[in-house]
Structures are given as C-alpha cells and as structure tokens.
C-alpha cells in the first residue's frame, strides 16, 4: 500500500465531498419557502405579525389563522411534495425505469377508485381520503402479488400488471362517476389534487405513516445503488433481491398513499424532482433520497402558495400548478440531454 | 490443500428449455484456478450461476465450507463467493467509487446506508481500487469507461467483497490482448499470493492451458473431462468435444501446451 496516505478521515478518491453544504442549502430553501407560505394567504398578514403569532400561539385571530389554517396546510404541502418525490426516486430505482413515478404500478387508479367508492357508498361521511389511501395500497398489493413467483423478470411483470390494473380500476371509477352525478364535481376536484381545508389531525396521520415508511426505507438506501447495477449483480454482492424489492415497493407505496390521503392525485412532482436532484448531486441514493424529500417539499410549498395567489385566474388547484411547472421543466431537461438549446 | 467447494450430483434445468446440467460432481480446492471449457451451450455459464447461488440445483447439492450453499443467507454467501459480472449498464451515471463500494453492501449495517462508511469498508474499497489500478478512475462515471477500464472496476467490486472464492464468466471477452493478459495476470496473482479459488468460464484453450491449474470440460450439461490443464487440453477426446482436430505445440517459455486451429 505504498504511495497511499493512511488517513482514514481523508476522503477516498471518488467519494463525493461531504454533503453538508447541500444539506444546508436545501434546508434553507425549505424554510424560506415555508416562510413565504405563511406570509401569503387570503387574509393580509404582515411578516412581523406572522412572527409574533408563531411565537405566541394563543394571541388572537391572527395566531389562529397562522396555526390552524396556514401551518397545517404548509406542513401538508411539504409532506406531500417530499413523500411523492421520495416515492418517485424509489420507483425509478426499483423498476430500473427513468419514467417511473409514484403512481406507475396502479396507486393512482386504486386511489381514485377508493375515493369514488367511499363517496358513492357513504357520501355524508367524508371518507374520500381514507378510501383513497386504502385503494392505493390495495392496487399496488394486487400488482405485486401477480409479479411474485419463479418468473425471470418480476419487475417487468409488476409494471405491466400495474398498468393493466390501472386501466381496469379507471374504467370502474368512470362508471361509478357516471352513476353518481351529484358528487361528480367533488370527485373531479379531488382528482386534480389540492390541499384545501387541511387540519392537524390529518397531517399527523400522514406524518406518522411517512415516518414508518422512512424507517423501512433507510436500510435499503444503498441497496438501490446496487439494484441500478442489475438484479444479478445485486444478488452477487449480497442483496436479498426479492425481499429488498418488496420492502422498497412497500415503502414507496406508503409514501404515495399518505400523500394521496392528504392531497388527492398530484402529478409530476414524483417524476421530475428526482431527476432534478440527480442532475445536481448525482444518482447515489444516500443523497438522492433525502434531497428529493427536501426539494419535493420546497417545490410543493411554493406551488401551493402560488396556487393560492393567482387571482387573475381564479382558484387553480395545486395539481395543475405542479403540472404547469413540472412539464415544461422536464421537456427542457430532455431537450438539453439531446443537445438542443431553447434558452 | 483444503477443499473450498464440493458438488454432489448436481442436476438443474431451465424451466421451459432444453438447457440442463446433469450429475455434476467434483471438488474445487483452495488456491486453485479452475477453468470451465466446452462448446457454446455446454452449460458453463449455467454452472457458474449455480455456484454463485443465483440458481438452485434441482437435485444434489453444492457444499461450501461443509455446508449447503442454499443454507446461507444472501449476506453470508456474499462474503464467501463473488461473481464478477461480464458487463453492467447502470441506468444512471454512477461513480466508479460507488460501483466498487457495492462489493461491501453484504456487510452493511443499518447506519452504513446513511452515514459515511466505516473504516473497515473504506479500507477494503481502497485496497480493491489499489489492486486493480483503478484509484485514478474512482471519480469518473462508470458508463464513460473503456472496455478494459470497466472490466478492472468490476474486478475491484468483487475484490472488495474479500471472498475466498471468485467466479469469472469470460472475464476478457471484447478485450484486446494487452488488456486481456493484464486482467489475467491480476487474477493469477490473486490465486498465487492470496490463495483465492477462482472458477472461470473461458473459450480460449491456449490461454486456459497457460494460466489455469485445472480444467473441467463440459458438453451438453455434463462434465466430460476433468484434470490438470495440460492433461485435459491434450486429451484425445477434445477432438470430439469441439468437432475440430487441433494442432498442439509447446509454449516456448512456459512449457505449457498451446492449441492451434488446424
């Protein structure tokens, strides 16, 4: 080992520099976006007033607006954006497919059917969100159980089964919607995605679910790096491939279902944010996963604040904002990769 | 020398295919470089996959350290046996360092997935990079490497596993003679100096005769010839195996047989 300095604190060649500065920047971005979200809203509240209310939760009407309306809403937006971005990054590694998003194996269609089913069966009970949560998990579980067995490419089967189930579930959803005209607009608004009227109780449920799925995910983080090398290679270096894939799918589905529970179906965050983070700090999951959460949370808080503040356009659901911002950005990235220049 | 692997009447067949292995028995000892040869479709790669634990025998068993290979967990197996892949095409631009680091994942604990690597892992990665002369590639993207470089990196990845047994499937395919002999020389030093056991599927008989200690010649899923490299290469049955009447010479400096096309 001549010629190599024996210094264990030194960085190995190729090891990325400490990501402390990147952590700091993403956290600052999230805090700033949350502050922006707190200040903006239908009631005009100035920054000093916001600050006072944050520090004194029981100081009157402004404190109530801040603590019971804006805070839950912002935290919910952050959880939705972060959860979907993490789920998207996991699905992309799991399915070895850069176009994978959190909904790709049937979660969206399952959630849609769950929500509509709940609304049809018990329209007075406001069960759409729990219905969507359960529907999303059931759909993914269905697709996964079809992909098990001795076949050679279970992840491809999972993808195809998820697609077929999506078609089937969507057809049933459409039928139920046509039968149930009265709640058509409620369901349509829900499907577009939004974070209206958020309450702490709901945020807490989603936060606990996401914490659990985060704990499932942590011991699989570098496993995803190994899966990028191919299933056989991952197996060779000691990854219990089928078990890891099942745990990753479970974790991603819980993140997705918790996000859907809070906000309905919000598109594009889960697809775009991981790609953005990969461009900034590489595809290694020990950075991709946490930074995707922070970036997704920041993006979603900003999008939600923007959604509240487009008076000329009236009320715009946040799901449309994310699509309007995410779609063009993704096209831009793809064009750049092909060597084109638009800007 | 101590026994590393023993095969007892191993049978296997691919579902929905004629490809099968039948009644393969044999012992693979410590510090031995074993070559699997045979015509295309003889079952060399299939046998390597069984030895790597990627497939399970239908009947019979593969013993490693006196214990059935299938009784080990994935993590335990990855500290005993490493299979060097021929090529990989990662979906995203992974750094060479990340690829080599994956050789350690079977030994990771919960926190290794989040925090900086522990000292033992860092040392193993460093040594593997050093042994394969890939230290200065560590910062590059794997997908941008040349054929020779990426093969060395994959060797580094399996060396980071620090296993007594190394499985190689045509490790020099697509490499020019310079890079091919460089890679084989590295493997040779692993066998001679570190007493690693290497099982290698290979097509070129002269190279096998030059480097390897023993040969198992396979045909249609069976091991039809086995013995020391020189014996097997010069055996009269090689003519039937390849349907080709080789001419043989003796290597001028190494005194090993060299086969020529007639």
Residue B234 is assigned to a structural domain of this protein:
no
Residue B51's closest chain A neighbor by CA?
A236
Q: CB pairs below 8 Å between A and B: how many?
A: 130
What are the CA-CA distances from residue A105 to residues A16, A88, A98, B124, B131 (Å)? 33, 11, 14, 39, 43
Q: Tell me which CATH code domain A29-333 carries.
A: 1.10.3470.10
Judged against a pLDDT cut of 80, whether residue A9 lies above it is answered with no
Cα–Cα distance for residue pair B57/B77, rounded to 1 Å: 16
Name the nearest CA neighbour of A280 among A2, A107, A12, A26: A26
Cα–Cα distance for residue pair B38/B201, rounded to 1 Å: 9
Q: Residue A234 in contact with residue A227, Cβ under 8 Å?
A: yes
Cα–Cα distance for residue pair B212/A10, rounded to 1 Å: 39
Q: Residue A325 in contact with residue A303, Cβ under 8 Å?
A: yes
* Other beta carbons less than 10 A from residue B202's beta carbon: 22
Cα–Cα distance for residue pair A82/A86, rounded to 1 Å: 6
Name the nearest CA neighbour of A193 among A248, A254, A263: A263
Cα–Cα distance for residue pair A5/B252, rounded to 1 Å: 43
A94's CB contacts (< 8 A; 6+ apart) are A100, A155, A224, A227, A245, A248, A249, A252
Residue B238 is assigned to a structural domain of this protein:
no
What are the CA-CA distances from residue B10 to residues A180, B37, B60, B68 (Å)? 62, 18, 4, 12
Which of B162, B179, B199 is the last residue before a domain boundary?
A: B162
Q: Residue B4 in contact with residue B163, Cβ under 8 Å?
A: no
Interface test with B, best of A151, A229, A284 (most B CBs within 10 A): A229
Name the nearest CA neighbour of B134 among B156, B117, B119: B156
To the nearest whole angstrom, how far is the Cα of A77 from the nearest Cα of chain B?
A: 25
Residue A2's closest chain B neighbor by CA?
B130
Residue A284's closest chain B neighbor by CA?
B94
pLDDT digits (tens, 9 = 90+) for A72-88: 999 999 999 999 999 99
Q: Are B75 and B188 within one domain?
A: yes
* Sign of the CA dihedral with B203 first, then B206, B211, and B217 last: positive
Q: Residue A66 in contact with residue A50, Cβ under 8 Å?
A: yes
Judged against a pLDDT cut of 60, whether residue A28 lies above it is answered with yes
Q: Are B125 and B187 within one domain?
A: no
Q: Are B155 and B170 within one domain?
A: no
Which chain A residues are within 8 Å of B126, Cβ to Cβ? 4, 12
Question: What tokens does A150 get?
Answer: 């001795």
Judged against a pLDDT cut of 70, whether residue A18 lies above it is answered with no
Q: Are B173 and B62 within one domain?
A: yes
Which chain A residues are within 8 Å of B130, Cβ to Cβ? 1, 4
Q: Which domain holds residue B57?
A: 1-80+164-229
B48 touches chain A (CB under 8 A): no
Q: Are B39 and B94 within one domain?
A: no
What are the CA-CA distances from residue B123 to residues A4, A262, B126 (Å)? 11, 46, 5
Q: Is A284's CB within 8 Å of B94's CB?
A: yes
Q: Are B8 and B70 within one domain?
A: yes
User: Looking up tokens 């019979």, which residue turns up?
Assistant: B60
Q: Is B106's CB within 8 Å of A237's CB?
A: yes
For range A192-202, the mean pLDDT? 85
Q: Is B94's CB within 8 Å of A232's CB?
A: no
Domain tally, chain B: 2
Give the number of C-alpha atoms closer than 13 A to the C-alpha of residue B213, restricted to the C-beta side: 16
Which chain A residues are within 8 Å of B99, Cβ to Cβ? 229
Q: Are B40 and B11 within one domain?
A: yes
Q: What is the ipTM of this complex?
A: 0.91
Question: What tokens does B72 get?
Answer: 């080990």
Residue B4 is assigned to a structural domain of this protein:
yes
Q: Are B212 and B98 within one domain?
A: no
To the nearest whole angstrom, how far is the Cα of B17 from the nearest Cα of chain A?
A: 13
Q: Is A226's CB within 8 Å of B85's CB?
A: no
Chain A residues near any Cβ of chain B (below 8 Å): 1, 4, 8, 12-16, 92-93, 96-98, 150, 218-223, 225-226, 228-230, 232-241, 278, 282-284, 286
Q: pLDDT tens string for chain B (262 positions)?
A: 789 999 999 999 888 777 789 999 999 999 999 999 999 989 999 999 999 999 999 999 999 998 999 999 999 999 999 999 888 888 888 999 999 999 999 999 888 888 778 889 999 999 999 999 999 999 999 999 998 899 999 999 999 999 999 999 999 988 899 989 999 999 999 999 999 999 999 999 999 999 999 999 999 999 999 999 999 999 999 999 999 888 999 999 988 999 988 8
To the nearest whole angstrom, how far is the Cα of B120 from the nearest Cα of chain A?
A: 10
Residue scoring higher pLDDT (A206 or A53): A206
Which chain A residues are within 8 Å of B119, Cβ to Cβ? 8
Q: Is A12's CB within 8 Å of B126's CB?
A: yes
A315's CB contacts (< 8 A; 6+ apart) are A307
What are the CA-CA distances from residue B95 to residues A54, A246, B144, B145 (Å)? 44, 26, 10, 10
Residue B56 is assigned to a structural domain of this protein:
yes
Q: Residue A326 in contact with residue A84, Cβ under 8 Å?
A: no
Residue B255 is assigned to a structural domain of this protein:
no
Residue B81: strand, helix, or coil? strand
Name the nearest CA neighbour of B156 among B144, B171, B170: B171
Residue B242 is assigned to a structural domain of this protein:
no
Q: Are B13 and B76 within one domain?
A: yes
Residue B129 is assigned to a structural domain of this protein:
yes
């Amino acid at each position: 080992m001549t010629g190599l300095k024996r210094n264990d604190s030194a960085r190995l060649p190729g090891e990325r520099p400490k990501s402390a500065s990147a952590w700091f920047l993403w956290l600052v971005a999230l805090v700033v976006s949350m502050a922006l979200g707190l200040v903006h809203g239908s009631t005009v509240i100035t920054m000093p007033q916001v600050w006072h209310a944050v520090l004194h939760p029981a100081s009157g009407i402004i404190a109530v607006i801040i603590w019971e309306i804006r805070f839950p809403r912002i935290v919910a937006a952050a959880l939705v954006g972060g959860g979907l971005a993490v789920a998207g990054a996991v699905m992309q590694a799991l399915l070895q497919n850069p176009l994978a998003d959190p909904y790709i194996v049937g979660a969206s269609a399952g959630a849609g059917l769950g929500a509509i089913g709940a609304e049809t069966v018990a329209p007075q009970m406001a069960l759409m969100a729990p219905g969507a949560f359960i529907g999303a998990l059931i759909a993914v579980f269905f697709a996964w159980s079809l992909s098990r067995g001795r076949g050679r490419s279970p992840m491809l089967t999972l993808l195809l089964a998820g697609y077929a189930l999506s078609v089937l579930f969507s057809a049933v959803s459409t039928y139920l919607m046509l039968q149930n005209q009265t709640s058509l607009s409620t369901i349509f608004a829900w499907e577009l995605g939004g974070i209206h009227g958020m309450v702490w109780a709901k945020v807490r449920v989603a936060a606990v679910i996401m914490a659990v799925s985060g704990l499932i995910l942590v011991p699989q983080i570098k496993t995803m790096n190994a899966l990028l090398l191919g299933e056989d290679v991952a197996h060779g270096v000691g990854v219990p491939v089928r078990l890891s894939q099942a745990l990753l799918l479970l974790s991603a589905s819980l993140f997705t279902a918790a996000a859907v529970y809070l906000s309905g179906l919000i598109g594009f965050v889960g697809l775009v944010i991981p790609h953005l983070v990969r461009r900034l700090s590489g595809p290694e999951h020990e950075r991709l996963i946490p930074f995707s959460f922070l970036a997704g949370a920041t993006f979603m808080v900003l999008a939600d604040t923007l959604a509240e503040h487009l008076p000329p356009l009236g009320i715009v659901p946040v799901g449309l904002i994310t699509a309007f911002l995410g779609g063009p950005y993704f096209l831009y990235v793809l064009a750049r990769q092909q060597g084109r220049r638009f800007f | 020398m101590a026994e590393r692997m023993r095969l007892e009447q191993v049978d296997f067949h691919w579902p929905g295919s004629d490809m099968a292995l039948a009644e393969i028995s044999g012992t693979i000892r410590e510090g031995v470089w074993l070559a699997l040869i045979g015509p295309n479709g003889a079952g060399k790669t299939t046998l390597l996959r069984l030895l790597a634990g990627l497939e399970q025998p239908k009947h019979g068993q593969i013993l490693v350290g006196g214990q059935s290979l299938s009784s080990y967990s994935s993590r335990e197996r990855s500290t005993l046996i490493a299979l060097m892949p021929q090529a990989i095409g990662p979906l995203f631009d992974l750094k060479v360092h990340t690829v080599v680091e994956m050789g350690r994942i079977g030994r990771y604990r919960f926190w290794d997935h989040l925090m900086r690597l522990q000292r033992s892992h860092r040392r193993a990665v460093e040594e593997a990079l050093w042994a394969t002369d890939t230290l200065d590639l560590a910062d590059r993207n794997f997908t941008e490497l040349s054929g020779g470089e990426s093969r060395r990196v994959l060797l580094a990845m399996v060396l980071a596993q620090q296993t007594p047994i190394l499985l190689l499937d045509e490790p020099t395919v697509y490499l020019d003679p310079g890079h091919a002999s460089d890679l084989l020389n590295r493997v040779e030093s692993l066998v001679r100096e570190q007493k690693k056991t290497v099982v290698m599927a290979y097509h070129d008989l002269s190279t096998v005769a030059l480097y390897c200690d023993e040969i198992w010649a396979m045909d249609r899923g069976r091991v039809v010839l086995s013995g020391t490299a020189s014996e097997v290469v010069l055996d009269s049955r090689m003519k039937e195996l390849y349907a080709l009447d080789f001419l043989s010479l003796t290597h001028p400096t190494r005194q090993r047989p060299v086969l020529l096309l007639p």
